[in-house]
Chains A and B, each alone.
Chain A
Amino acid sequence: MSSTWDRDEAAAFVETLFAKHEREIFGYLLRMMRDPEVAADMTQDAFIKAYKHYDTLEKPENARAWLYQIAHRVALDEIRRRKIIRFFPWTGESHGAAPSAEHLVMDANLSGDMQRALARIPERQRAALLLGEVHDLTGLELAAALGVSHVAARALLTRARESLRQALAVERATDAAADAAADAAEVAGSSRHGGSMEPRS
């Protein structure tokens, strides 16, 4: 991959790869990082790395798993760098001064117990579940993307399922408590304000 021609070939290949996999790579990184702007930057970074390391792709038919492996490493590097191993659950409050354009839409898509539960589990387990169940990587592809053996990948998935089950239980308990509190507040509010807005006679 040292000649100019090879680099052009790599650029063309990455362009094709981008066309086929941009959305799923972005989706994976968004679900990992829970921040659309960060995910977009990391998607860009992943494809640049794919271009730079085009020569490491042994078989074109493995390109998808290879790309996920790059994206996964980009995500882990970023997580490590930023020391964040969590999602940013949507609480209805602003997350800061650097929001992204699609944040509103994203949060509509990413809200819910499942995403919050995913946020609670370790990032490698989260990655395994996302890649295996959401992005439908086969066992071989998953192992390649995670950079581990097949056995290790399956063991990771098994642990991830248990972690997710427990996290979902916590989320649902939290939701139930919040609903109960909201109901109590509603009852209190109704009694305070006297119910409807009909004028008093």
Chain B
Amino acid sequence: MTRLWRVRRRPDHWATPHDRARHRAAERLDGPLGVIEAAWLEEHLAECGACFATAQAFEVDRMGLRSLRDDIPVPPRDLWARTSAAIEQESAGHRRASTGAAGRSPLAQWGAIAGVVVVAVVVGSSLLQGGWLGRAGGTAVGPQGSLTALLTPQPLPSGIEVTPGATPMVVDAGDVGWFDVGADGSYAYNVANVDKVCAQVDQASCAALDAGHGRPLALSTSPKSIITSPANGQTVVVGADGSGGNAVFVVALPEDQAASPSPTAGADSPPPSPTAVPTATVATASASPSASAPAVATTAGPSISSSPSPVASPSADPSSPPPSDPPSPTPTSDTTPTPTMTPAPTAEALAIVSGVTVVGDAAAFSPDGEWFAFTARPADGSAGPDIYVWHVGEPHAHAMTTDHQSAFGSWADGLVIGSRPGLPSTTAASSPGETAGASPTPDLQPVADVGPVTFSLDPSTGTELVLPVAWWRPAVSPTGRRAVVWDGSVRVDSAGRTIAPADGRLVLVDWGVNDTAPTAPRVVSKDPISDFTVRWDETGSWLAVWLADAGDPMIGRLSLLHLDPATGKVDRPAAGPQDVPAMPGFSIENGRLAWASPPRQDGEGSHVQIVAWSVDGVGSIESAPGQDVVVVR
């Protein structure tokens, strides 16, 4: 690169000597200059500091460019399959136009088949609609393995990886469970082991998620949320109680579902015999023995009422009756819907609370599985929400707050993190502090757009600590280092029954005392929000955010976010779902996010959608459509 690079421009063509020096300094990186120009440049650089700095900048920039050599992007692993099929199509077209097809090589034969398959898959998939993946999940194109075999007709040259792992992509996402309504109208429990998904580039050939046989479970209520314990296998079901409210009951779902589906069962196969279906067992006790008593139990520990919080309840009357006074009409054994016991297979259940309306979808077990927390208000609308907890092994959940304005956010360090509307700004700064007990009932005068009060509750003692922040419903990561919160005001309706984000934004903030430098809040959403749910995976690096639709709170939009634990930066991985339509319940763990898509207007039901990620990339898969699908989380 010497003489070839000689530039014909003469030195005296430059507008200024500095222009000339800058040009030569760049030019010499690609080959030596002529003797005269090189000498001139050295002399000029020795005298001109700015030009010397520019010359150095060129060198540094070149090193920066060359550092990109170390970042070699990895192409999709099925790229050769696609390319070879396209080449073979090209070749086949040429042969058809020529005299014949004699002498076709094995590669050509396989490639032709692969090309036909690819075309068929693409055309077929383009005819299908629906779901995040853009197709009807119930239509399996064909066995993944056979397709892969077709696309890898012979050993490839070294250095090329087109293995069966390319499509489908192997992941270790574990089981995903969901309920849907079976053909007989009863609910069925489905579990699918997600060990492979389809790369984004290959959705057209992606078979539907195989859940084997759904396990019929006779639930008399329509489940709204289903939450499994991280520790003991118990499952809490929030269901409709038939009177407009909710019942919360505990069931033990059948185990080994994924391991025992009939591998040969088809559409005409008989349903599994009762003996083949393990009967769900009562979780902790028989159905509520106190069904005739008020179903909403409230703790009566002295610490609960002895020290009202001055912040949350300045007008509280410590002697006011707790909400164990049943909402009117009082739920009784005759009027309170409870999960029905039906012949096996049956999810025998323990009702831990009924006659309430469970608010939101933040309900969650504590990390050790010992406690379950949720937000609920009386079903008759007589009061606003409180935070309830259920201790595993006890017959009932109980309310930990009695102000009727509290909402559960998440668990952090074994404590319930909640929030409630604060006082109007003129008095909100009054001294918050430790309150050895839940706050008494404040007056329920309409309070518009007030800042929230954030607090922690010890589920064992009821001790409440008001935290020095003003965040609504913090969703704390399992690491306890960060949280997604509503940073802004909340609005209480005129009856004091509903509380919703008002003016503010959803942000990621530092939580607790971190050993890293504090980071500025990162905006997750700055749009108006009527309701939201945020969940983290077990690593604290991935989170999903569901934002309710303003017009229909039962439908929202779901996004997957990734948190860089070192910097606190939040990215929206483009390969993951971003603002996709989703029902409220979703599950994120084990490197995958699962949710139910809304039913389609043409009557097709919901799909369970799963996106999974690994070091190889991101892929997805979906179930066949089902009715009233609820993802177990």
CB nearest to A40 among chain B residues: B76
CB of A131 to closest CB in B, whole Å: 11
What is the CA–CA distance of A138 and B573 in the complex, to the nearest angstrom? 37
**Chain B residues numbered 476-530 whose CB sits less than 8 Å from any CB in chain A:** 510-513, 518-521
**Chain B residues numbered 47-97 whose CB sits less than 8 Å from any CB in chain A:** 54, 57-58, 61-62, 64-69, 71-76, 79-80, 82-84, 86-88, 90-91, 94-95
What is the CA–CA distance of A135 and B200 in the complex, to the nearest angstrom? 28
- Report yes or no: B201 in contact with A199, Cβ–Cβ below 8 A: no
Measured CB to CB, the residues of B under 8 A from A are 1, 4-8, 22-23, 26-27, 29-31, 54, 57-58, 61-62, 64-69, 71-76, 79-80, 82-84, 86-88, 90-91, 94-95, 98, 101-105, 107-108, 156-160, 169, 199-201, 431-434, 456, 465-470, 510-513, 518-521, 559, 562, 569-576, 578-579, 613, 617-619
- Report yes or no: A139 in contact with B86, Cβ–Cβ below 8 A: no
- Report yes or no: B57 in contact with A19, Cβ–Cβ below 8 A: no
- Chain B residues closer than 8 Å to A26, beta-carbon distance: 73, 75, 79
Q: A4-B98, A11-B108 are in contact. Are A99 and B575 (CB under 8 A)?
A: yes
CB nearest to B107 among chain A residues: A11
Pick 29 A–B contacts, CB within 8 A, sort by A.
Answer: A2-B98, A4-B101, A7-B95, A8-B105, A12-B107, A19-B156, A19-B157, A20-B157, A23-B72, A27-B72, A40-B201, A44-B79, A51-B91, A97-B578, A104-B576, A109-B71, A113-B64, A114-B68, A135-B69, A138-B1, A158-B27, A165-B58, A168-B61, A185-B520, A196-B513, A197-B467, A197-B512, A200-B431, A200-B466
- Report yes or no: A109 in contact with B73, Cβ–Cβ below 8 A: yes
Binds B, one of A65-73, A79-87, A187-195: A187-195
**Chain A residues numbered 74-117 whose CB sits less than 8 Å from any CB in chain B:** 90, 92-97, 99-107, 109-110, 113-114
- Chain A residues closer than 8 Å to B61, beta-carbon distance: 161, 164-165, 168
What is the CA–CA distance of A100 and B7 in the complex, to the nearest angstrom? 43
Q: A104-B571, A157-B30 are in contact. Are A151 and B73 (CB under 8 A)?
A: no
Most chain B CB inside 10 Å of its own CB: which residue of A4, A47, A186, A197: A197
- Report yes or no: B200 in contact with A99, Cβ–Cβ below 8 A: yes
Interface residues of A, count at CB 8 A: 85
Contact pick for B23, options A14, A106, A109, A158, CB 8 Å: A158
Measured CB to CB, the residues of A under 8 A from B are 2, 4-5, 7-8, 11-12, 14-16, 18-20, 22-24, 26-27, 30-31, 36-37, 39-40, 43-44, 47-48, 51-52, 90, 92-97, 99-107, 109-110, 113-114, 129-130, 132-136, 138-140, 150-151, 154-155, 157-158, 161-162, 164-165, 168, 182, 185-186, 189-190, 193-201
CB of B83 to closest CB in A, whole Å: 5
Q: A4-B101, A40-B79, A99-B200 are in contact. Are A139 and B518 (CB under 8 A)?
A: no
A-B contacts, CB under 8 A, total:
255
- Chain B residues closer than 8 Å to A31, beta-carbon distance: 68, 73
Closest 9 CB pairs of A and B: A99-B574, A19-B157, A26-B75, A139-B1, A101-B200, A161-B26, A94-B578, A133-B65, A103-B574
CB of B288 to closest CB in A, whole Å: 36
